[in-house]
Amino acid sequence: MSGSNTIFTSQHDVDLCRLAANGERRAFGELVRRHGSGIRQLLRRMGAQASESDDVAQDAFLAAFERIAEFRGEGTFAGWVKRIAARQYLRRLQRDKRLAAYAQDAVGNESHGGSAEADGRIDLDEGLKTLSPTERLCVSMCYGAGLSHAEAADALNLPLGTVKSHVKRGLEKLRARLAPPDGVALDGRRENG
């Protein structure tokens, strides 16, 4: 049995998608094994709790399995499933009417960020927690799920300019928060200098 599964571990994602579209469920199982944790991580970065990210990831993979024949290999399988998962999470937020509360919070509480005097470097997940909920959603959708600003605006039912503003502010906050303590960026340039 394990020998038959090893043929899938050496296959490229596009080949596994083709096999899955032809009814080979173990090929799709290999895709889930490869990309499941990345999908759940994206959803947690968007604001989902751990159990919720598990549920949405499972729903996203089920939707991907049902639509696997639509995957043409024009992008990565991981990116395709991330977009499905992001949209499903947003539908869940809309259904639960939490999106309105997130947008209200962002408008009424622009200074939601964390302590400015953080010691040393922090990781991306900690940096994302310092953003307002709407900024975190917009940044995660555009940079984590690979959606364009227009696709994110459509999914969030927000004006394009509003999404661009949230992404811009979110990235500025992340740059400031994640900047090295000596002020030298990874590419050798000085930050704010």
142 by DSSP, 3-state: which?
helix
Q: Which of 119, 118, 117, 138 lies closest to 128, judged by CA?
A: 138
Ramachandran bin of 73, using left for φ above 0, alpha for ψ from -120 to 50, beta for the remaining angles: left
Question: pLDDT value at position 62?
Answer: 95
Report the Cα 112 to chain-centroid distance in Å.
21
Please give the chain's pLDDT, 193 residues, in tens: 445 566 888 889 999 999 999 999 999 999 999 999 999 999 999 989 999 999 999 999 999 999 999 998 888 999 999 999 999 998 888 777 655 565 566 555 544 444 444 444 457 788 888 899 889 889 988 888 888 898 888 888 889 999 999 999 999 988 888 776 665 554 444 444 4
How is 99-113 classified by DSSP, letter by letter? HHHHHHHHHH-TT--
